[in-house]
Amino acid sequence: MLSQQEISDRLEIQDLVFHYADLVDSKQIEALRSDVFTTDAHIDYSAMGGSVGNVDETLAFLKASLTDELFPASQHLNANVQVVIDGDTGSGRVMCFNPMVMAMPDGERQTILMGLWYVDEYRRTEAGWRISRREEVKSWVFNAPDFMGL
């Protein structure tokens, strides 16, 4: 049976995971620094062709790649949030279904569908639970243009 503290921790981490998705999809990238990641977080988006690095490098990558001109719409739909708590740390695996509308060089738009998992490490901070490590693990990609290399 879960303790009240563990139930609370799990719900806070679930909210954190959903908040991450909302911030990315609404392109509030800078808010990830204070609301989602620890200051020393390591983020690995390489499975889907993205950056690997610290918070500054990750936010720079997201700001450059998730522009309205390139990706006018996206939805990071998270499910199957699996969390293990160990005191003030935790780990988790989160399923993500990610449709994205991409502006093509010819002016048309193409919808890309991606399935992935986030493999996370979490840490309780004075501000609440934060992601201290996140790695994307690719499951599948549908309808991506060849030049994306996915």
What pLDDT shows up at residue 49?
A: 93
- In percent, the amount of the chain with pLDDT more than 90 equals 95
In the prediction, which pLDDT does 147 show?
84
Q: What is the pLDDT of residue 150?
A: 81
Query: Which residues in the chain land under pLDDT 50?
Result: none
For residue 48, what pLDDT is reported? 94
Whole-angstrom distance, CA of residue 69 vs CA of residue 102: 8
Nearest to 62 by CA among 108, 27, 105: 27
Assign residue 49 a region (left: φ > 0; alpha: ψ between -120 and 50; beta: otherwise). Answer: left
